[in-house]
Amino acid sequence: MMNLTWRDTMNYFIVGDVHGCLNTFIEILKRWDPETQRLIQVGDLVDRGRFIVETVAYARQLEARYPDRVTFVLGNHEDEVISLVLSKDSNPWFHSMGGETMNQYRKAGKRIEEDATWFANLPLYYEDDFVFVSHAGLSDVAEDPFERESLIWHRSPIKDIHKTQVYGHTPRFELTPLRDPLTHSIDIDTACVYGGKLSAIVLDDKGQEIDFISIKVDKRDINVSYFTGI
């Protein structure tokens, strides 16, 4: 697994946790300009939503079409798939929500092993001189904040690295991002799969915020097992 370090003059279009909400994901990407903006998604494409298989397929199509300007980073839910499917580890994920994910793959007639292999090659983070994007953010209390487990699982305070840091993982049921000017960080997970919103932040090539976009989850994407009515 590589971690991406990049520098160019493109702006950034960074999208929060999707969780199988395909129609909402497609809708928010209508605001993305692939000619001028690098697309980065913070992980957790899978689990909970109604269109998990299709969401991953769409993400892979985007990556194949725009290999130099699209990045998906690893989320903890993709890591759970890797653990169960590729490593064959005993995993409580299967009994909580993994069974539904596996069932969607069976119904679609698609082997989950193919996507698990793709997940295994996703970077843990994207970084350049001005921007750092990961699933859970860099922990301020971890012994090694760049360690895999920390980058995709922690929910502790964010470490200031003097760059704009964008992450997801911890849903914001208030439906507004969590901005921390002291650490130059922003949590953009606005609880889409729970009936909330899918959000994207637009940054210029120096990491300064230009725009923030939030759209209500498409009703077709909602799995009633996770809908909170927010």
Digit-coded pLDDT (tens) for 19-71: 999 999 999 999 999 999 999 999 999 999 999 999 999 999 999 999 999 99
The radius of gyration computed from the CA coordinates of the chain, to the nearest angstrom, equals 16
Distance, CA of 133 to CA of 151 (rounded, Å): 10
Pick the CATH number of 4-221 from 3.40.50.2300, 3.40.50.261, 3.40.1800.10, 3.60.21.10: 3.60.21.10
Average pLDDT of the chain to the nearest whole number: 92
Work out the pLDDT band at 92, boundaries 50, 70, 90.
low
* Cβ proximity of 165 and 145 under 8 Å: no
Q: What is the pairing mode between strands 11-15 and 37-41?
A: parallel
Query: Which carries the bigger pLDDT value, residue 198 or residue 90?
Result: 198
What is the structure's pLDDT at 190? Answer: 98
Helix (H) or strand (E) holding 12: strand 11-15
Distance, CA of 163 to CA of 166 (rounded, Å): 10
Listed ranges 98-107, 139-148, 190-199; the one with the highest mean pLDDT = 190-199
Classified as helix, coil or strand, 44 is coil
208: pLDDT strictly greater than 60:
yes
87: pLDDT strictly greater than 60:
yes
Helix (H) or strand (E) holding 71: strand 70-72
8: pLDDT strictly greater than 70:
no
φ/ψ (deg, to 5) at 16: -80, -165
- For range 134-140, the mean pLDDT: 96
Work out the pLDDT band at 109, boundaries 50, 70, 90.
very high
What is the structure's pLDDT at 226? Answer: 78
Share of the chain above pLDDT 70, in %: 91
- Locus of tokens 């939030």: 214
Any idea where the domains of the chain sit in the sequence? Answer: 4-221
Digit-coded pLDDT (tens) for 149-178: 999 999 889 999 999 999 999 999 999 999
Please give the biggest Cα pair distance in the chain: 48
